[in-house]
């Protein structure tokens, strides 16, 4: 097995349309105006206090230390303590409020995204990997949340600090201001150089991390296959190589970004030295005081920090905007129906009570342009009839039922139920009348009771249990240590294949649909379970129009009509006896394949 496409947090650093995306993020943020105003006020206050402190320090040195005024010194020290203390408090408030703002914002985004996923047509999921969609709900959204948490405050405070420190420096000395900012171009150029390299390696690191994640996900999901084919060693080798790549790139990225700190320190010290020498000279010539030198040393730090931060934050914001853009792309997809915003309460749709008279008239369909999957398929199922669909693999049997459920829309012809074109029916109302039991019985994590109740959410415990009885599932469920409240592992892995089938049958019985779609399991179960399943299926089918993708002889023999599908066309139709007599495709299929099931 190869390790398919990277499924991890592959960061596309640039957004396509940053402006629109930022405006949309703003749309979410705006819902929390009060929090944002609080953040703005506390950031402004903490910046103002931080800007005032160095000035106060300079004044303390000049008025109290140089002039040896001890009593004034104490007062100034207390004032300084108050200024620093209040600035810390404001910073804490701004962080605290912003965490709430950003978490609420991404909660709403995550919610919108999940609601959207529920309303997107199946076609959307066909062309995307699970990893890609997962990455949107996890990586992309956490990227937005981190950026909102850190960058928004830092951006605001950097702007305040930058302009504030220049103003405070100019207020004290024009010449010293010029001396302080003289090293800035040097700092900016070197940071830019280093960070352009760092970004490249960080991007590579993200991509490699995606490879590692994708590989691990695939190997864990495919554990059975890996073990069955004894590919553990091969998987390990591939993993080692991918992991190795990640280490190499990781070391480069981390050590480059690690060198940024010392470099900045060196620049800062150079700046201090220049200020000290130039300040000392000016103080010697009585142009400025010693206190001013001290306050400039502080301002130089407050001034250069925001410049570096602005550059860093810009990159972070860029990658978050790109993440948000990917989320918005999903939100802009066309839904099958309007999202259910009722927050978990069942929504009433136009009620539909069908008899189950189903007609296909010259239905043609293709999943992708140019490849016809169904060609002019016509059929008529009267209420209560069983239609068996048989044919070789890939013939189009599943596609017939995919169209009836409107998982996909037909391109030509018409499908009607009780005389009404299904395109005119509300999709959810239509699906509420269709019961589906699929071959790969899908169970959710949760208890057995919850899984059966999935068929009708408002069913009582008694109704759930009588559905299970009809489905022949009750006796095995009761033998489990926790009975109906037994929790199921992922996809019901702690049940046998046959047991999973019985639970999905119970689910369909509870839903009580007018029309049934059954995809019979091909995998063999023991004879007793087989009999149980057959009996349950027959009870389920009684009185309902049933479409069965048939693999079992019993279903086929009892079916009112058998449709033999080959290459997307109905090549033969009739009852079992009719078709055997005909000695055509069905006869061949039956004698070669199905006879073994008898
Ligand atoms: N989502 C899809 N996108 C593109 N092509 C698809 C899709 N689903 C099915 N197909 C193609 O349509 C054709 C019919 O598939 P379908 O699943 O209806 O066959 P089937 O008769 O049910 O086969 P099987 O018995 O193996 O389940 C196949 O060639 C398949 O490759």
Segment 226-258, tens digit of pLDDT: 777 777 888 899 899 999 999 998 898 888 877
> Which residue lies with its CA nearest to atom 17 of ligand 1?
398
Mutate to test the pocket of ligand 1, among 364, 367, 391 (most ligand atoms within 8 A of CB): 367
For residues 221 and 527, give the distance between their C-alpha atoms in angstroms, rounded to a whole number.
30
What CA–CA distances, in Å, run from 387 to 26, 512, 564, 572?
55, 18, 11, 13
The ligand 1 atom at the shortest distance from the C-alpha of residue 126 is 1
> Which residue lies with its CA nearest to atom 23 of ligand 1?
394
The ligand 1 atom at the shortest distance from the C-alpha of residue 122 is 1
Q: Does ligand 1 lie within 6 Å of residue 289's CB atom?
A: no
The C-alpha angle with vertex 23 and arms to 19 and 24, in degrees rounded to 5, equals 120
Q: Does ligand 1 lie within 6 Å of residue 402's CB atom?
A: no
Q: Does ligand 1 lie within 6 Å of residue 397's CB atom?
A: yes
Q: Does ligand 1 lie within 6 Å of residue 373's CB atom?
A: yes
**Higher-scoring residue by pLDDT: 453, 526:** 453
Segment 92-129, tens digit of pLDDT: 999 999 999 999 998 999 999 988 988 888 888 877 77
Q: Does ligand 1 lie within 6 Å of residue 526's CB atom?
A: no
Q: Does ligand 1 lie within 6 Å of residue 371's CB atom?
A: no
Q: Which of 507, 413, 502, 407 is nearest to 459 (CA)?
A: 507
The structure tokens listed for 303 are 């001034």
Segment 359-367 shows an average pLDDT of: 92
Q: Which of 345-354, 364-373, 483-492 has the highest mean pLDDT?
A: 364-373
Q: Which of 583, 513, 579, 502 is nearest to 541 (CA)?
A: 513
What CA–CA distances, in Å, run from 315 to 151, 274, 328, 465?
10, 31, 20, 57
CB 449 within 8 A of CB 484: yes
What contacts 242, CB < 8 A, 6 or more positions away?
Answer: 3, 208, 211, 212, 215
Residue corresponding to tokens 């995307």: 128
DSSP labels, 149-199? HHHHHHHHHHHHHHHHHHHHHHHH-HHHHHHHHTTHHHHHHHHHHHHHHHH
Mutate to test the pocket of ligand 1, among 396, 517, 548 (most ligand atoms within 8 A of CB): 396
**Beta-sheet pairing, 412-417 with 569-574:** unpaired
For residues 227 and 132, give the distance between their C-alpha atoms in angstroms, rounded to a whole number.
26
Flag the least confident range among 27-41, 247-261, 562-576: 247-261
Distance 396 CA to ligand 1 centre (A): 6
Q: Does ligand 1 lie within 6 Å of residue 253's CB atom?
A: no
Q: Does ligand 1 lie within 6 Å of residue 394's CB atom?
A: yes
**Higher-scoring residue by pLDDT: 552, 359:** 359
Mutate to test the pocket of ligand 1, among 369, 375, 398, 402 (most ligand atoms within 8 A of CB): 398
- pLDDT surpasses 60 at 13: no
Give the per-residue pLDDT at 216.
86
**DSSP-assigned letter for residue 486:** P
> Which residue lies with its CA nearest to atom 6 of ligand 1?
367
Q: Does ligand 1 lie within 6 Å of residue 396's CB atom?
A: yes
The interaxial angle of helices 184-221 and 290-331, nearest 10 deg, is: 30
Strand order through the sheet with 420-421: 374-381, 358-365, 412-417, 420-421
Band (308; pLDDT cuts 50, 70, 90): confident
What CA–CA distances, in Å, run from 29 to 16, 109, 143, 587?
21, 11, 15, 67
The structure tokens listed for 344 are 């978990």
Q: Does ligand 1 lie within 6 Å of residue 529's CB atom?
A: no
Distance 122 CA to ligand 1 centre (A): 14
The structure tokens listed for 113 are 């995204």
Distance 137 CA to ligand 1 centre (A): 29
**DSSP-assigned letter for residue 367:** S
**Higher-scoring residue by pLDDT: 206, 269:** 269
């Amino acid at each position: 097995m190869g390790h398919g496409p990277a499924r991890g947090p592959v960061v596309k650093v640039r957004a396509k349309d940053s402006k629109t995306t930022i405006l949309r993020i703003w749309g979410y943020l705006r819902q929390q105006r009060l929090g944002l105003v609080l953040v703005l006020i506390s950031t402004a206050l903490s910046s103002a206090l931080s800007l005032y402190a160095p000035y106060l320090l300079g004044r303390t040195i000049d008025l109290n230390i140089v002039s040896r005024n001890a009593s004034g010194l104490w007062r100034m020290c207390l004032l300084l303590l108050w200024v620093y203390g209040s600035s810390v408090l404001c910073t804490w408030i701004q962080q605290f409020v912003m965490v709430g703002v950003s978490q609420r914002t991404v909660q709403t985004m995550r919610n919108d995204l999940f609601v959207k996923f529920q309303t997107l047509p199946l076609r959307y999921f066909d062309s995307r990997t699970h990893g890609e969609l997962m990455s949107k709900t996890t990586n992309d959204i956490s990227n937005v949340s981190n950026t909102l948490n850190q960058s928004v405050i830092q951006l605001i405070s950097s702007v305040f600090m930058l302009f504030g420190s220049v103003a405070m420096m100019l207020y004290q000395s024009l010449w010293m201001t010029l001396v302080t900012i003289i090293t800035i171009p040097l700092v900016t150029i070197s940071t830019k150089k280093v960070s352009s390299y760092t970004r490249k390696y960080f991007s590579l690191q993200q991509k490699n991390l995606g490879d590692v994640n994708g590989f691990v996900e695939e190997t864990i999901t495919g554990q059975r296959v890996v073990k069955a084919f004894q590919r553990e060693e091969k998987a390990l080798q591939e993993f080692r190589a991918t992991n190795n790549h990640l280490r190499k790139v990781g070391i480069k990225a981390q050590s480059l970004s690690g060198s940024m700190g010392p470099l900045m320190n060196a620049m800062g010290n150079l700046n201090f030295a220049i200020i000290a020498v130039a300040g000392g000279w000016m103080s010697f010539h009585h142009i400025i005081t010693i206190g001013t030198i001290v306050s400039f040393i502080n301002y130089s730090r407050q001034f250069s920090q925001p410049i570096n931060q602005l550059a860093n934050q810009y990159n972070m914001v860029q990658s978050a905007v790109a993440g948000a853009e990917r989320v918005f792309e999903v939100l802009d997809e066309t839904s099958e129906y309007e999202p259910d915003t009722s927050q978990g309460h069942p929504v009433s749709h136009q009620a539909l009570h069908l008899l189950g008279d189903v007609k296909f008239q010259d239905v043609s369909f293709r999943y992708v342009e140019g490849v016809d999957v169904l060609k002019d398929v016509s059929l008529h199922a009267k209420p209560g009839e069983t239609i068996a669909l048989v044919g070789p693999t890939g013939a189009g049997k599943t596609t017939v039922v995919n169209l009836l459920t409107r998982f996909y829309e037909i391109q030509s012809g018409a499908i009607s139920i009780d005389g009404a074109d299904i395109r005119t029916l509300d999709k959810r109302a239509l699906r509420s009348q269709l019961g589906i039991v699929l071959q790969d019985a899908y169970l959710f994590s949760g208890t057995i009771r919850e899984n059966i109740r999935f068929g009708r959410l408002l069913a009582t415990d008694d109704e759930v249990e009588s559905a299970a009885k009809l489905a022949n599932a009750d006796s095995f469920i009761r033998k489990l240590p926790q009975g109906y409240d037994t929790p199921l592992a992922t996809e019901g892995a702690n049940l046998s294949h046959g047991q999973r089938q019985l639970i999905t049958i119970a689910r369909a019985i509870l839903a009580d649909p007018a029309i049934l779609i059954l995809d019979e399991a091909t995998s063999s179960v023991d004879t007793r379970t087989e009999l149980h399943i057959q009996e349950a299926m027959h009870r389920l089918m009684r009185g309902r129009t049933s479409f069965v993708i048939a693999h079992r002889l019993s279903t086929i023999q009892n079916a009112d009509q058998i449709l033999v599908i080959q290459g997307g066309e109905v090549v033969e139709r009739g009852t079992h006896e009719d078709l055997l007599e005909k000695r055509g495709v069905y006869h061949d299929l039956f004698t070669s394949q199905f006879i073994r099931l008898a």
